[in-house]
Chain A
Amino acid sequence: MTRRRRSPVLTALTGIVLIYSLIPLAWLVINATKTQDGLFTSFGLWFDDGRFALWENIRLTLTYDDGIFLRWLGNTVLYVVAGAGGATFLAVLAGYGLAKFDFPGRRAVFVTVIGAVAVPGTALAVPTFLMFSRLGLTNTPWSVIIPSLITPFGLYLMWTFAAEAIPDEIIEAARVDGASEARTFFTICVPMLAPGIVTVLLFSMVATWNNYFLPLIMLKDPDWYPLTVGLNAWNGQATTAGGTAVFHLVITGSLLTILPLLAAFLLLQRYWQSGLAAGSVKQ
């Protein structure tokens, strides 16, 4: 493409959306440095002159209530590794199968999965809860992990990606050489699918890390909460009778909650963006 002249006007206009996107994050960073009192007495988008309490807030967040925040962090990591990892694995396998094989029932699989995508996850959550409670799975990590294993969006992305990225001839050649289907997949196709896999993994990580509704209804015991449900419980303390308001911990905890995801997105940028681009080609 020919090099284009840059436009200050267009940059400024797009800058409005940029500011809109960044202001709440700036608010979060600024207010994580304030004490509980400072939150109420200082201007929201500037630091409290009185004192800089970020390190103390982090220490308090990590130690408050016997360090339950760290327990929630550990739970979240468990749910993400098992849930998002498993979801990616299943989506990659199935996406590849749908893109590269013709098998009896393929059309039915397509129709069922696409139809099910339109069923609101939250509408499903209540029946899933009732079913899991019959099976004795509620209030265990399984109740959060098992439903996280299915990502229809991940399947869709992997499917379009595999159709685009792997030429049929390569699979054919491997078959002629006598490789089994599994071997062909793992040694030849998986490396070619890498950008797509990273993309699906990141998006299912976000979905699991940020999941709120499912753990909210499945879990009663705070020891099994992920960060999202735990933070909201802290936030709700202010309105419950006899509870202490810990807004400074909610804000600092929120900041600590989003940092790992932001870091993952920024570090893996090149990778997942090329995966997303290739995945969205085929319509």
Chain B
Amino acid sequence: MDAKRRRSWAGWQFVAPFIVVFALVFLAPIAYAIYLSLFRNRLIGGNSFVGLDNYRQALADPNFWSALGRVSLFLVVQVPVMLFLALLVALAIDSGRLYGRDFFRVSIFLPYAVPAVVATMMWGFMYGSRFGLIGNINEALGTSLPDPLEPSWVLASIANIVTWEFVGYNMLIFYSALRTVPGTLYEQAEIDGAGEFRIIRAIKLPAIRGALVVATIFSVIGSFQLFNEPSILQSLAPNAITTYFTPNLYAYSLSFSGQQYNYSATVAILMGVITMVIAYAVQLRGAKER
């Protein structure tokens, strides 16, 4: 299809508007952040060029590493759980064996339309010990379930909120990809005597591998970006959620409560590079296994 097409500048008139705005809201801030990260503002001496000093400082900064470690742990636990759950539900709905298939599909997707602020506040209320569900359950059954907002549980509680928000979204991406498999393929497989699991392994999973890779990349980016949920929960769990709980929370606190714009830009750039490297690795791996 590509080969037939003439090479001309005509396509630019469609792409140019996007590129202009893109340059303004993506490229310019990145360039500006890189510029900022090379300077330091001192009380005495003002703004001065310091080269890579900010990066050296960040790489030796225990707060930065602890934030990075936390989102990495989040990434390796929450993302597989969420995607696996989404995949199971997508396969179940696609199998045609559910009663009320459409109701399942729409209802499980609904949380995606709920703003992170509302989702976090809802779960925060439910987690809460005063009129929360955990408190209710403990009271009613005489149990002593752990407080979801205590330091050792708060990351898992956040993971639960994020899973709740995005299971349905990922399920729908997988389901949409499954819908594009021609039905005749299944018929042929059945004639050849393939069972349900064989069909899933040999036909369905390969058919949606592109969707799986894209969903994984978006989830990886989402994990490293983690900000809304911890920042909103912070007022409920001030002891458990520090100002450097995630790298983005750290960058935000550095800018808006610490006025350390240069160092904040450095953290943002470092996180951007790390995210890109990992997203790229996921993409490469996804392409290789094809």
Query: Which chain A residues have a beta carbon within 8 Å of chain B's beta carbons?
Result: 1-8, 10-11, 13-14, 17-18, 20-22, 24-25, 27-28, 31, 39-40, 43-45, 90-91, 93-94, 96-98, 100-106, 109, 112-113, 115-124, 126-131, 146-147, 149-150, 153, 155, 168, 181-182, 185, 206, 209-210, 212-213, 217, 227-229, 231-232, 235-236, 239, 247, 250-251, 254, 257-258, 261-262, 265-266, 269, 273, 276-283
Contacts and interface: CB of A to CB of B under 8 A. Distances in A.
B173 A131 contact: no
B110 A25 contact: yes
6 contacts: A5-B97, A14-B89, A44-B132, A126-B261, A130-B265, A235-B235
B203 interface: no
A31 B81 CA distance: 30
B223 to A, nearest CB: 10
Given A21-B108, A212-B116, 16 more contacts: A6-B98, A17-B85, A21-B168, A22-B110, A44-B132, A102-B11, A121-B225, A122-B227, A122-B251, A127-B32, A131-B32, A149-B25, A213-B227, A229-B117, A236-B235, A277-B180
Contacts of B26: 116, 119, 124, 150
Interface stretch (B2-10, B42-50, B60-68, B143-151): B2-10
Nearest to B217: A118
Given A2-B187, A231-B121, A120 B224 contact: yes
Contacts of A90: 17-18, 21
A186 to B, nearest CB: 11
B126 A265 contact: no
Contacts of B113: 206, 210, 258, 261-262, 265
Contact of B108 (A17, A118, A277): A17
A244 B53 CA distance: 46
B5 A168 contact: yes
Contacts of A44: 125-126, 131-133, 136
Contacts of A247: 125
Interface size class of B (residues with CB under 8 A): 35 or more
A220 B95 CA distance: 51
B1 interface: yes
Nearest to A217: B256
B225 A98 contact: no
B119 interface: yes
Interface in B195-234: 209-211, 217-218, 221, 224-225, 227-228, 232
A119 B232 contact: no
Contacts of B36: 127, 130
A38 to B, nearest CB: 9
B66 to A, nearest CB: 18
A235 B117 CA distance: 10
Contact of B7 (A104, A118, A127): A104
A126 B265 contact: yes
B268 interface: yes
A229 B163 CA distance: 22
B133 A1 contact: no
A127 B4 contact: no
B180 A150 contact: no
A98 B176 contact: no
The residue among A7, A24, A96, A239 with the most chain B CB atoms within 10 A of its own CB is: A24
Contact of B173 (A31, A261, A276): A276
Contact of A101 (B11, B98, B248): B11
Given A120-B272, A212-B115, A98 B11 contact: yes
